[in-house]
Structure 1
Amino acid sequence: MRVLVTGASGYIGSRLVASLLKAGDEVCAASRQPQTLTRFDWWHDVDTCALDAGDPLSLREGFEQAGDVEVAYYLVHAIGQADYRSQDLTSARQFAEAAAAAGVRRIVYLGGFVPEGEELSEHLASRADVGEALSVDGVEVVWLRAAIVIGAGSTSYEMLRYLADRLPVLPLPSWLSHPVQPIAVDDVLFYLLAARSTVPPGSYDIGGPDTVPYQDLLFAYVEAAGLTRVGLRTPGVPTGLAGRVIGKIIPIPDALAEDLVGSLHNTMTTSEERIVDVAGEPESGRTTIADAMRRSVQGRVGTPPGVSELKDPLRLAVTDAAWSGGDASVIRRYGVAASSKPTWDLFESLGARSLLYSWPVAAVVRTNLDVVDSVSGRTRSAIRRLFDDRNREA
């Protein structure tokens, strides 16, 4: 089968490309700038095309370049950008129209849960808009809806990782007692592959086998990582405020963190499990939270491999976001490693590994340094703008 993958450079998209290739499919990986895909180890095994879902001309030319595509995966999302809901809606409509014109048989879309009878967060409302906008005459749509995806490199998982690694006392707002049904990335990939052929058109909730309060999910990571943390009840803290604070104390982009945390007041459990009836489960069953966390923390120190070389899709890949992997991984990949490997080896021999992962004081200091760096970065930008203005006036 020949398939097109949009968002191929993203966390899910890059792993999906590797999984499709293993399944024997012909893959065309789409990106606004195809040259950026050369960093992936599957680069030589795929075709590529330039495709910008926000540009109708680019869409038409991209589908022409992609060839006779049977199934197109839509993994495009502008979350974290200004007015992303409007952008996402327009892009989805244009993509569906271009896919229909190109003779694509099916679109597979991965979005978020849409709990009935609730006021949706901006993030979930945007995901729902996209699912509806992709429905056009002549093209089948399979819409998979998920909550938190567990796996090293996943934004939701990395938020849990940084909070638990850096804060010796974990604040527990009342909304962290709400239930959540996360899904491990290996199960997401299983259902994405099934959706290209065996799953009838329609929308399906996908989730893992466990439903727990959010706070239990946080402490599942604490246990898997071998940490000692204390929870502190903090009632009355709204998700909006929590998102802004979290965006300042962890290295994930501020706007992205705020948008994701803003969805935590919504119901994040499956409303039905028809996907299991039509597609079944992986051979070993769906991945539990405990197993997903255990596998995600493995191999956290060291240079990660490429996506196709991963022994487990829940582990970190070298092409995952620069801020993913935790403090030690980021330092190794982008800090000390930039000078020399012997320097890092010496750093590790002096106890850096245990320092960065288990010593709460070091985590707090690391967090405060990020905050200071964020503030100082904005200050430097303001000073530059001031001098630029003065120079233009002169």
Structure 2
Amino acid sequence: MRVLVTGASGYIGSRLVAALLDDGDTVVAASRRPESLDRFDWRAEVETVALDAGDTSSLADAFDAAGDIDTAYYLVHAIGQEDYRSQDLRSAGQFAEAAAAAGVRRIVYLGGFAPEGEALSEHLGSRADVGEALDVDGVEVVWLKAAIVLGAGSTSYEMLRYLADRLLVLPLPSWLNRPVQPIAVDDVLFYLLASRQEVPAGAYDIGGPDVVPYRDLLFAYVDAAGLTRIGVSTPGVPTGLAGRVIGKIIPVPDALAEDLVHSLHNTMTATESRIVDLVGEKEGGRTTIDEAMRRSVLGTVGEPPGVRASKDPLRLAHTDAVWSGGDAIGIRRYGVAASSDETWSLLEALGARKMLYSWPVAAVVRTNLDVVGGVSERARSVIRRVRGGSNDEHGGDEEA
């Protein structure tokens, strides 16, 4: 098939281009600045066009240059920018009209869950707006709805990574008890590919095999990374305040972090599984949370590969956002200034990483066990040793 991919330089888009090429499609990669695609290892295998979804003239020129497109993937999002909801709504409508005029048969859109009966966050409301705006006469639309996407380089995953890496004690607001059904990026790619032609037009929920509270997702990363962390219940903390604080202590752009955290008060679980009934699952089944975390933490030594060269889309790619990969990779790539907290980065550069990341929380556990809201597996072993009065070389009074 001849396929157009908007947002080709983004996390999902760049991996989708590689997957489409592997599947034998002819890919036209679209970007407002086509030269920005030169850094990708698939660049020589694709055609490129300049496309600005907010500009009707640019859209008309892009579809004219792209030729006969069977399927157009819409992966454009202005989240983190001022007044992004109105921008997204306008851009989606213009894109759909231009695609219909160019004779595009189908648009495939990846958005978020929109739980009924709940007041949607600005982010999720915007995602729902876009899905509706893309539905115009003359072109089919497949709208895939997902919650958190797991994989190194994904914004949601990187936020989990930085919080768990940087905070020895993890605050656990009550809204982290709400259920979430994340999906690994390899499963996202499977359903995006299937949506070219195997899936009838319509809206479909996509999710991984596990439904857990948000807090369990955080500790799944902690355990996969081999960290020792303890969670402390912090009831009464609203998502808005949490988003502002998180935006200041991790290197993900402030506005982006705030918008995503504010969505955590919504229920992010699938309400139906029709797409699984239609196209099944990828070989080996859907990726579990534990498996996704295990694969995502790999590859922290040496420079990450290109998207096409990588054997696993959950691994970090060197073209992912500059703030991706954690502090250790940031220091290797860009020096101490890569971190949003130069003091923290300097400590890590001087060798404090091992001490800070593995410090047992025995003293905290002994003085205030009742406030504990969640514990990593390594922390659980420390608690057991402390409670049992263990005096081996890794526990007991020596630890305190």
**SS state at 1:199 partner:** coil
Q: Does the alignment pair 1:174 with 2:174?
A: yes
> After TM superposition, which residue ranges in structure 1, 4 or more long, deviate above 2 angstroms?
347-361
Partner of 2:306: 306
Partner of 1:83: 83
Give ranges in structure 1 of 5+ residues lacking alignment.
339-346, 362-394
Contact 2:328 2:348 in 1 (8 A): no
Within a 5 Å distance, the mapping from 1:292-303 to structure 2 comes to 292-303=292-303
Q: Which amino acid letter does the alignment assign opposite residue 139 of structure 1?
A: V
Partner of 1:322: 322
Partner of 1:31: 31
Partner of 2:160: 160
**CA offset digits 1:196-233 (Å, max 9, x no partner):** 01000000000000000000000000000000001000
Q: Which amino acid letter does the alignment assign opposite residue 95 of structure 2?
A: F
Q: Does the alignment pair 1:196 with 2:207?
A: no
Within a 5 Å distance, the mapping from 1:36-75 to structure 2 comes to 36-75=36-75
Q: Does the alignment pair 1:126 with 2:115?
A: no
**CA offset digits 1:123-162 (Å, max 9, x no partner):** 0000000000000111000000000000000000000000
Q: Which amino acid letter does the alignment assign opposite residue 132 of structure 1?
A: E
Contact 2:111 2:143 in 1 (8 A): yes
Partner of 1:240: 240
Write the distance in 2 (CA, Å) between the matches of 1:109 and 1:335.
37
Q: Which amino acid letter does the alignment assign opposite residue 141 of structure 2?
A: V
Write the distance in 1 (CA, Å) between the matches of 2:316 and 2:337.
17
Q: Which amino acid letter does the alignment assign opposite residue 117 of structure 2?
A: G
Superposition deviation, residue 302 in structure 1: 1.6
Write the distance in 2 (CA, Å) between the matches of 1:336 and 1:245.
22
**CA offset digits 1:265-313 (Å, max 9, x no partner):** 0010001010100111011000000000000001122200000011210
Q: Which amino acid letter does the alignment assign opposite residue 326 of structure 2?
A: G
Contact 1:4 1:72 in 2 (8 A): yes
Q: Which amino acid letter does the alignment assign opposite residue 251 of structure 2?
A: P
Q: Which amino acid letter does the alignment assign opposite residue 188 of structure 2?
A: V
Q: Which amino acid letter does the alignment assign opposite residue 91 of structure 2?
A: S
Partner of 1:206: 206
Write the distance in 1 (CA, Å) between the matches of 2:314 and 2:158.
12
Deviates more, 1:214-223 or 1:293-302: 293-302
Write the distance in 2 (CA, Å) between the matches of 1:279 and 1:326.
36
Specify whether residues 81 and 350 from structure 1 end up closer, same or farther in structure 2 by C-alpha distance, changes over 3 A only: closer
Superposition deviation, residue 333 in structure 1: 1.4
* TM-score, length-scaled by structure 1: 0.87
Write the distance in 1 (CA, Å) between the matches of 2:144 and 2:349.
46
Q: Which amino acid letter does the alignment assign opposite residue 133 of structure 1?
A: A
Write the distance in 2 (CA, Å) between the matches of 1:348 and 1:265.
34
Give ranges in structure 2 of 5+ residues lacking alignment.
339-346, 362-400
**SS state at 1:262 partner:** helix
**SS state at 1:110 partner:** strand
Q: Which amino acid letter does the alignment assign opposite residue 125 of structure 1?
A: G
Write the distance in 2 (CA, Å) between the matches of 1:232 and 1:337.
30
**SS state at 1:311 partner:** coil
Write the distance in 2 (CA, Å) between the matches of 1:150 and 1:46.
26
Write the distance in 2 (CA, Å) between the matches of 1:52 and 1:179.
36
Contact 2:7 2:76 in 1 (8 A): yes
Write the distance in 1 (CA, Å) between the matches of 2:281 and 2:94.
33
**SS state at 1:252 partner:** coil
**CA offset digits 1:237-291 (Å, max 9, x no partner):** 0000000000000000000000000000001000101010011101100000000
Deviates more, 1:297-306 or 1:126-135: 297-306
**SS state at 1:264 partner:** helix
CA RMSD of aligned residues (A): 1.9
**SS state at 1:72 partner:** strand
Partner of 1:370: none
Q: Does the alignment pair 1:230 with 2:206?
A: no
Q: Which amino acid letter does the alignment assign opposite residue 6 of structure 2?
A: T
Partner of 1:107: 107
Contact 2:168 2:357 in 1 (8 A): no
Write the distance in 1 (CA, Å) between the matches of 2:359 and 2:104.
53
Q: Which amino acid letter does the alignment assign opposite residue 72 of structure 2?
A: A
* TM-score, length-scaled by structure 2: 0.86
Write the distance in 1 (CA, Å) between the matches of 2:78 and 2:28.
21
Partner of 1:150: 150
**CA offset digits 1:67-111 (Å, max 9, x no partner):** 111100000000000000000000000000000010000000000
- What is the count of residue pairs matched by the alignment? 353
Identity of aligned residues (%): 80
**SS state at 1:123 partner:** helix
Contact 2:50 2:58 in 1 (8 A): yes
Partner of 1:255: 255
